[in-house]
Amino acid sequence: MLHEILETIQAYETIIIHRHVRPDPDALGSQMGLKAALKATYPEKTVLATGETDDSMSHFGEMDDVSDDDYDEALVIINDTANLPRVDDDRYDMGIKLIKIDHHPDNEPYGDYSIVKPEMSSTSEIWASIILDEQSGLDMTDEAAKCFYLGIVGDTGRFLFDNTTPHTHKIAGELLAYDFPATELMQASNTQSLAQARIQGYVLENIQLTDSGKVASVFISQETLKHYGLTDSETYHIVQLAGMIEGVQAWVNFIELPSGVIRCRIRSKGPVINEIAQKHDGGGHPKASGANAYSKDEMQAIIEELDAVSQ
């Protein structure tokens, strides 16, 4: 399959790279890293990255202004997106060919070609592995290495999560041989505003535990976000907080979006949670998933389902 994908990339003059909505470092790292590598390998090609801009992760680079006409005769590559409803920019089906590269469980296959490797930490690790292999014919650059490295760092929780393998460290080490300020960028990614620090205090004050003590949850309303002067995308520092509590096996951060939909960031130290996320308009990894809730009752249902698998 890889051979066919590389031949397809070589054959198309326009390549448009998508990723999932509400991007995390791996989504942006794999998207912008691939763009940098393809531009270096094929300077004559038009290589574009599409999706909403997230100012909090501007160090990955800016999204392109992609028109409908750009999709004429284009190859579309979707990174780090398990199912089509989560693709940022729904014009992904306007191209001629579609390629899926992902590391989430392949519960909803799509695309003319795909590489899905759940055993890898991240889509950034998949692409970095491909490009670092000289037989791929693709050129790794300092910019691409930076993006892939930060994507790997993001999805492994700075190499703390158990999706970190010897292969992950090997690829990360090879990327560090390129010229980019890894330490400075990692420190910057861990820096937060005073408002972001203060909302962590709110979270710790308002965490709720189930009777078993094994599941923690917290709800952050739009009113609370406005009080702290934050948006949903600026709350990523709170994701792991509840997991620090002794005895907690699974936890969920409920964050109300402006639309009224409640974003659910679900994490686990052991119980499999992605099947629960799939039942609630989401999906992801066995220990790190996202979902959407549409009422307080659905929030409670998620908590009870997490409690049931945490016993």
Span 45-83, pLDDT tens digits: 999 999 998 877 888 999 999 999 999 999 999 999 999
Cα three-residue angle 89-95-97, rounded to 5 degrees: 120
> Which regions in the chain score pLDDT beneath 50?
none
Stretch(es) of the chain classified as CATH 3.90.1640.10: 2-189
Confidence (pLDDT) at 188:
87
Confidence (pLDDT) at 213:
97
The arrangement of strands across the sheet holding 75-79 comes to 46-49, 14-18, 75-79, 97-102, 113-116
CATH 3.10.310.30 fits domain 198-309 = yes
Which tokens sit at 66? 């992609």
Stretch(es) of the chain classified as CATH 3.10.310.30: 198-309
Confidence (pLDDT) at 189:
82
**Coil/strand/helix, residue 210:** coil
Q: What is the pTM of this model?
A: 0.89
Cα torsion 110, 27, 165, 138: sign = positive
Confidence (pLDDT) at 19:
98
The CATH homologous superfamily for domain 2-189 is inorganic pyrophosphatase (n-terminal core) (3.90.1640.10)
CA 160 to chain centre: 16
Cα three-residue angle 133-137-139, rounded to 5 degrees: 80
**Coil/strand/helix, residue 17:** strand
